[in-house]
Amino acid sequence: MRAFAYLGQKTAGWIHKDRPRATGYDAVIRPLAVAPCTSDVHNVAIDCLSPDRILGHEGLGEIVEVGELVRDFRVGEIVAVPPVTPDWRTVASQLGAHQHCDGLITGQKLSNSEDGLMAEYALIRDVDANAARIPENVSREGAVLAADMLNTGLYGAELAEVSPGDTVVVLGIGPVGLMAVAGARLRGAGRIIAIGSRPKCVELARFYGATDVVNYKEGDVLRQVHLLTDKKGADCCICAGGDEQALSQAVSMVRWGGTVGNVNYFTTYGDLPLNNVRWGFGMGNKTIRGGECPGGRARMEKLLALLRYGRVDPTPLITHRFTGLDGVEDAYRLMAEKPPELVKTIVTI
Ligand SMILES: [Zn+2]
């Protein structure tokens, strides 16, 4: 089969590979819609994947083959898959840390340690536990964006423990940050201060519920937030963009007792196998919680319920659409170039 993969040497391109076969609890899907993620581009850039690893972890597809132990899905059904499709049979999963089922951030197997979705066929591990049917009135585009963008943004709001009436800062308003704005609103935030500059993202931030927008190009962000909050600071801050400095800004922006939820990767690949120790920390009087978005079927079903019952619609994030498997490369290249008007691309296959 044809697939878009990491080639090694910090480049991505087309390869031919044997198509996967379903055994046991697994299924094979024929991807029908996929979206390249910033982390696909990032993983290629930092050379952290094995050569020939197929990219893509946001998508949905038609089941074409199921293993002999699969109970709840049949060939022909269309399912959405979250990026995190963990091994649920590990001790870490039993401890409630399925995102880290085989060690720190190992729950996202698709496109990391197992082949991803940018191919003619893709293997879905433990499909009964890791895939969800798409409700009738939910669009395929919506389901794809729910899998990672809504999932991760909402998780930022969950980590930040946004409570009704809270003043929330959302640092970074790319697609995940925008879904963090939506997530903060879903959890009942009062004031939502979004930090960003690109006009398209600012427009969408207001659409999803931002009450204020702070442009870091117009002066020191910390100072602007402190002035906006009468020097009190926000109740919580969701860090969804920027570098390590953004995290220290986030800590400074919240009041005493406030909470920072981080869903941003601060990876410095090289000295440690995925050096994410920077966000395994704690502090005296503020709480910092960071993590990889949850995965599995139950999470995916809840995300789809938000779409099904009209609570949030992530499809306005889509600024560029492509069709056909070849469109995967165009969409990926666009994500890598990141023109100012780009928020999110999707490919219908
Ligand atoms: Zn992603």
Whole-angstrom distance, CA of residue 160 vs CA of residue 290: 9
Whole-angstrom distance, CA of residue 280 vs CA of residue 104: 10
pLDDT of residue 104: 83
The share of the chain scoring above pLDDT 70, in percent, equals 94
Q: How far is the CA of 43 from the centre of ligand 1 (A)?
A: 10
Q: How far is the CA of 257 from the centre of ligand 1 (A)?
A: 30
Q: Kindly report, residue by residue over 126-141, the tens digit of the pLDDT.
A: 999 999 999 999 999 9
Fold of 2-149+295-348: Quinone Oxidoreductase; Chain A, domain 1 (3.90.180)
Q: How far is the CA of 40 from the centre of ligand 1 (A)?
A: 7
Q: How far is the CA of 164 from the centre of ligand 1 (A)?
A: 28
Confidence class of residue 302 from pLDDT cuts 50, 70 and 90?
A: very high
Q: How far is the CA of 114 from the centre of ligand 1 (A)?
A: 14
Q: How far is the CA of 57 from the centre of ligand 1 (A)?
A: 6
Q: How far is the CA of 207 from the centre of ligand 1 (A)?
A: 22
Q: How far is the CA of 296 from the centre of ligand 1 (A)?
A: 15
pLDDT of residue 30: 98
Q: Kindly report, residue by residue over 47-101, the tens digit of the pLDDT.
A: 889 999 999 999 999 999 999 999 999 999 999 999 999 999 999 999 999 999 9
CB 250 within 8 A of CB 239: yes
Give the residue from 214, 217, 219 showing the smallest Cα distance to 237.
Answer: 214
For residue 45, the surrounding DSSP H or E stretch is helix 38-45
Please count the CA atoms within 13 angstroms of the CA of 195 that sit on its side-chain side: 27
Which CATH number fits the domain 155-290, given the four candidates 3.30.429.10, 3.30.230.10, 3.40.640.10, 3.40.50.720?
3.40.50.720
pLDDT of residue 268: 52
Q: How far is the CA of 100 from the centre of ligand 1 (A)?
A: 16
Q: How far is the CA of 105 from the centre of ligand 1 (A)?
A: 13
Q: How far is the CA of 198 from the centre of ligand 1 (A)?
A: 21
Q: How far is the CA of 122 from the centre of ligand 1 (A)?
A: 17
3-state helix, strand, coil in the chain (%, to 5): 30, 25, 45
Written as one letter, the residue type at 303 is L
Q: How far is the CA of 229 from the centre of ligand 1 (A)?
A: 32
Confidence class of residue 267 from pLDDT cuts 50, 70 and 90?
A: low
pLDDT higher at 279 or 234: 234
pLDDT of residue 285: 67
pLDDT higher at 217 or 192: 192
Q: Kindly report, residue by residue over 108-125, the tens digit of the pLDDT.
A: 999 999 999 999 999 999
155-290 matches 2-149+295-348 in CATH topology: no
The share of the chain scoring above pLDDT 90, in percent, equals 83
Q: Kindly report, residue by residue over 285-295, the tens digit of the pLDDT.
A: 677 888 788 99
Phi, psi of 334 (to 5 degrees): -65, -40
Q: Kindly report, residue by residue over 148-159, the tens digit of the pLDDT.
A: 999 999 999 999
Whole-angstrom distance, CA of residue 287 vs CA of residue 159: 10
CB 108 within 8 A of CB 318: no
pLDDT of residue 275: 38
With 80 as the cut, is the pLDDT of residue 341 above it?
A: yes
Q: Kindly report, residue by residue over 39-48, the tens digit of the pLDDT.
A: 899 899 988 8
Contacts of 299 (CB under 8 A, 6+ apart): 82, 84, 151
Domain extent listing, the chain: 2-149+295-348, 155-290
* Cross-strand pairs, 193: 169, 212
Phi, psi of 312 (to 5 degrees): -155, 145
With 50 as the cut, is the pLDDT of residue 192 above it?
A: yes
pLDDT of residue 283: 40
Q: How far is the CA of 292 from the centre of ligand 1 (A)?
A: 10
- Find the angle CA(38)-CA(212)-CA(216) to the nearest 5 degrees: 55
Q: How far is the CA of 145 from the centre of ligand 1 (A)?
A: 10
Considering the chain, what is the average pLDDT of its residues? 92
